Structure 1
Amino acid sequence: MVDEIPVDDEYLKHLLMQQGFLPVDHTDMSLTPDLRDDVVVRRMVALFDYDPWESSPNMDSEVELGFHSGDLIYVLGDMDQDGFYYGDLHGRRGLVPSNYLQPLPWN
């Protein structure tokens, strides 16, 4: 059996459109205005807890994203030269250390 499920979360809707699971909706291009169309979005799982205020090697830890082991983080783009990704967790965005994450397939 198949049942239609409405997608009310705009960010999830955007991700599903990027992955080809929903038709592209060109009527609302303001979903993520700060992302280029060619940005690769990857789904990753946090392996460890991370509190930037306690664990960050950087002086500007306020631009980093704290998370807990098991959290699903959507990584936007490629890793920077310092080994950090730009990630999204429940609508909060910031830098996340790559060595705390593991890729999680979409399927």
Structure 2
Amino acid sequence: MEAESSDALASIDEMKAKIKEEMEELMASMMDVSLEGGAKLHGDDSVDSLMKTKLHVASEVEATMDEKLLELPNDKTLLMKLAQEEAENMTINNARCLDFYQEK
């Protein structure tokens, strides 16, 4: 019985290590993609302005959570991800609108 539980613990530890390794690879891949995308957009004043807005929103979320001005969920990572996604969506939509009006 003890051998079975130690085998189970060993397999769980192996799974944890594998998941951790895969997550690190995924994060590295995401960073590469975001850096590549950022390089393409860098230098465009409208996009730079939107990126500044994104950073501003992210800092406001952190400050709001730190100062306890509002009751927000405790998961800072989730909130930052939501703010980041919102800013990215806004950036994409504004870039599309800008392209549309420039073509007109």
TM-score, with normalisation over the residues of structure 2? 0.24
TM-score, with normalisation over the residues of structure 1? 0.23
Bigger Rg, which one: 2
Higher strand share: 1
Higher helix share: 2
